[in-house]
Amino acid sequence: MPLFLAVALAASPTIAQMKWERRVLIVSASTAEEPALAEQRRILAAWKTHAAARDLTVVEIVGDTVRGAGDPASVLRRKYHLPATFTAILIGKDGGEKLRSAKPFPAAALEQTIDAMPMRKAGQR
């Protein structure tokens, strides 16, 4: 791994450091070939501008690799009780779990849940 990439990965904030600043969507899969992971990625790619407007950071845990946060995969799997199968969890800015699913979240479900959050409503005033 090139040094600049190692430094960039190490510089990613942890999920705990994102508290009060970002909402976090944790997407966990055992392998990159998992169909549910591909479907969630497609949904999020189409919803990208909406996610940005809602202060949403996507954290992917695939096997032992984490993208989007500086936490080790083993720590996140333990903390959020992630099974070996696909799991998606929406974490609010307060650090609390808001939604959990064994299937990809539709964009509408993410949008409705986030837009109903008190901090989102306060930010829209």
CATH number, domain containing residue 61: 3.40.30.10
pLDDT in tens, 75-85: 999 999 999 99
- CA dist., res. 104 & res. 40, Å (int): 5
pLDDT in tens, 6-59: 444 456 899 999 999 999 999 999 999 999 999 999 999 999 888 888 999 999
Give the residue numbers spanning the domain of 64: 3-124
Segments in the chain forming alpha helices (H):
3-10, 15-18, 35-46, 48-53, 73-79, 107-115, 118-124
Q: How many domains does the chain have?
A: 1
